Amino acid sequence: MEAFVREDKSALSGAPQRWDAINWRQVERNVRAMQIRIAKATQEGDWRRVKALQRSLTRSFSAKASAVKRVTENQGKRTAGVDRELWDSPEVRWEAIGRLKRRGYRPLPLRRVFIPKANGKERPLGIPTMLDRAMQALHLLALEPVSEGTSDPNSYGFRINRSTADAMSQLFVNLSRGHSAQWILEADIKGCFDHISHDWLERNVPMDRAILRKWLKAGVIFQGQFQATEAGTPQGGIISPTLANVALNGLERQLVASFEKKLGVAKTRKLKVNVVRYADDFVITGTTPEILQNEVKPWVEQFLAVRGLTLSTEKTRIVNIADGFDFLGWNFRKYSGTLLIKPSRKNVQTFYRKVKDVISANKTVKQSELIRLLNPMLRGWAQYHRAVVAKAVFNRLGHDIFRALWRWAKRRHPGKKADWVRKKYFGSVGQRSWVFGTTVVKDVDSEVWVELYSLASTPIQRHKKVRGDYNPFDPAQEVYGETLRQERLLDSMAHRKQWIKLYMSQRGLCALCQCKMTKDTGWHDHHIEYRVRGGSDGLRNRVLLHPNCHVQVHNHGLSVVKPVPSI
């Protein structure tokens, strides 16, 4: 397949002179090639070569351009730091590439904000400036190949092609059999991001130590006052999750190795000590509570203490699988010997409150607008839980939301009878009745039916877990990684069959820049011949583009030609 863009070819073939002329496919290839070399040196234990390759990557034009692209296309692109600066134009972004230099770099303090947590408390976030975010993204490109090569097999948080569903699937493997471990250490680290030792990070994180030290000691600004940072890595920084992962790497491998050294391989296997971790949340299984209390827990506490961390005494507990435990929004429990994983009660209640808050805050909006606000929430929550035993929860929660919407509709027309309200706000679709939906004018001559996403209609689908030994920077696993990425992206498009057809016809590549489309990059549905100029809504007139590429096409009048499958 080939895609053609009608613009100045010389600008793409030679050295770019402006942001819009950058050949992003070549940028991606250059960065990827260097990352593979770093990963290989890591596997070989050649740390001197790793350091040299990292230095080369962070000084390259491709890596700097990629870093600027990331911070100007992600969700935080409209959120400024303490300097109130945003990189919202091609000219500013092009200039920013040249500002990513080690010499003279001095990060500004972070802007402190607080976001609500599920338990009613607030979580502090530190927002770096755009320049500091880009520098973090740049050095993350060099750090990720090392962290991936040294990570525990069952660490799933903030890693490429890994998710909470993978952690859930691994726990199912560890707990579902009749001879599986029956006891679980449910661990919680007290303020992980706030208490990680700076000294430990500087000694052990394989990256430019001078740059890392500047980030860690940058401080924060809250209510106009400067606050020094003596420990921790701020939540909100691009590189912070990876730093936390590096700090906790070894929790699984070293724990098992210590038991094998003490008891031998055969006896260690009989203890069924397994670690599953997602970022700073983890659980450890064992055959008896004594093993977990007297052997595993003290070892974990010592492991964390070296890194400046401690377990939360209130939230850390040892439970039997028959009593169940919550992890990542799910409840794991055995009923008469059968393991069932369901959405946790706390997660369901929190989500229902969010939905009710949206309905209550939009008492006077049009029905179509309320549906537009609710559908992403409902679809996202259902997609998260559809890999577990959630059908009964979907049905019950769908009924509760229906009752909330019925009260919303009745309140708008207090003088009308129930039958009149039903006909105005609810319709029938196929065999489903009482569907909350309405018709919306799409064009001058056409209307479309929009309806609330149906939780009850969400199919339950088993998740395909990533392999524990998967390394996204290992060329030998390239085919496996590409297949996994495409399967998961297609899975996220399941509610839009036309997007799937477009994605497959483009081989998962943006029709403009020919770079990969992922969940992180997102995608836009672009009409080649604009609808306002008479273009059709058929697949022959549509392509998928990166959101930023879509903006470039419209702002600069670029014409994208429909990709043609290669023979």
Task: Give residue-wise pLDDT tens across range 370-395.
Answer: 999 999 999 999 999 999 999 999 99
Percent of the chain past pLDDT 70, that is, above it, reads: 95
Is 53 within 8 Å of 37 (Cβ atoms)? yes
Cβ-in-10-Å burial (0-12, 13-18, 19+) of 555 comes to exposed
pLDDT of residue 169: 97
How far, in Å, CA of 237 to CA of 246, rounded?
15
Class of domain 151-196+231-342: alpha beta
Q: What sign has the CA pseudo-torsion 107, 199, 312, 187?
A: positive
pLDDT of residue 532: 57
Query: What is the rounded average pLDDT of the residues 215-239?
Result: 87
Domain 475-556, what architecture? 3-Layer(aba) Sandwich (3.40)
pLDDT of residue 7: 36
The ranges assigned to domains in the chain are: 19-149+209-228, 151-196+231-342, 345-457, 475-556
Q: How many residues does the chain have?
A: 567
Is the pLDDT confidence value at 567 over 50?
A: no
pLDDT of residue 13: 45
The CA radius of gyration of the chain, in Å to the nearest whole number, is 26
DSSP labels for 38-92?
Answer: HHHHHHHT-HHHHHHHHHHHHTSHHHHHHHHHHHTTSGGGG---TT-----SHHH
Alpha helices in 59-197 (DSSP H): 61-71, 90-99, 130-150, 164-175, 192-195
pLDDT of residue 6: 34
pLDDT of residue 444: 62
How far, in Å, CA of 547 to CA of 545, rounded?
6
Is the pLDDT confidence value at 566 over 50?
A: no
Is the pLDDT confidence value at 177 over 90?
A: yes
Is the pLDDT confidence value at 565 over 60?
A: no
pLDDT of residue 493: 75
Residue 490: pLDDT band (50, 70, 90) is confident
Residue entry with tokens 């098992």:
256
475-556 matches 151-196+231-342 in CATH topology:
no
Mean pLDDT over each residue of the chain, to the nearest integer: 90
Residue 10: pLDDT band (50, 70, 90) is very low
How far, in Å, CA of 72 to CA of 274, rounded?
40
Q: Please tell me which residue, 514 or 292, carries the higher pLDDT value.
A: 292
Is the pLDDT confidence value at 361 over 60?
A: yes
How far, in Å, CA of 413 to CA of 274, rounded?
58
Is the pLDDT confidence value at 232 over 90?
A: no
Q: Please tell me which residue, 230 or 108, carries the higher pLDDT value.
A: 108
Q: Among 229, 221, 226, 218, which residue's Cα sits nearest to residue 195?
A: 229
Query: What is the rounded average pLDDT of the residues 317-327?
Result: 97
Residues 78-120: tens digit of each pLDDT = 899 999 999 999 999 999 999 999 999 999 999 988 887 766 6
In Å, how far from its chain's centre is CA 307? Answer: 26
3-class state of residue 507 by DSSP: coil
